[in-house]
Amino acid sequence: MQEIENRRSIRKYQNRKVEKEKLVQILESARLAPSGSNTQPWTFLIVESEDTKEKLAAVDHHQTWMTAAPILIVCVADIRCRIPMDTEIRLDENSAEPELKHIIRDTAIAVEHILLEAEHQGLAACWTGWFEQNDVRPILNIPEDKYVCGIIPLGYGDETPEQRPRKAMEEIVRYETW
């Protein structure tokens, strides 16, 4: 519970490199995430290049603060775990393909594992996703049959925001029926 209670979306980072051992542990936490039918539809691209970070921040609604993080983790969902390779498919925000919902859901679980393990490792992160597939995919040569679920800036935080208000349990929990 401590990591869950302490985790915040951090947008300011120290100019400090992330240790490889911590990054590996964070990626291991994502690898162990559950997925429907154990499809494990995720791929994670690690970006450290300043030029590439600037390009990603630009297409992610010009959120230039992202470039201060030493690492960006680009979280990609792969529909090929559910659709044969010989089926032509192109995914974007308007795709009607029902399997897209499954791979986004499963990859989102892995992304949350990343965020919580980052907190556990003493690092800070923020899940961003204010981009269009057509803008973000070309930067990293991501094929059109893959879906970018988020970009996570990762590093040592340089801010400690207060916890934001949360709804009371009575507002979010119902028993047996609506």
Q: What is the pLDDT of residues 44-86, one digit of tens each?
A: 999 999 999 999 999 999 999 999 999 999 999 999 999 878 8
The packing angle between helices 50-59 and 133-140, to 10°, is 170
First to last CA, the chain: 27
Residue listed under structure tokens 């659709």:
83
Q: What is the pLDDT of residues 78-96, one digit of tens each?
A: 999 998 788 888 888 888 8
The alpha carbon dihedral of 125, 128, 134, 139 has a sign of negative
* pTM (predicted TM-score): 0.94
Q: 118-135: per-residue pLDDT in tens?
A: 999 999 999 999 999 999
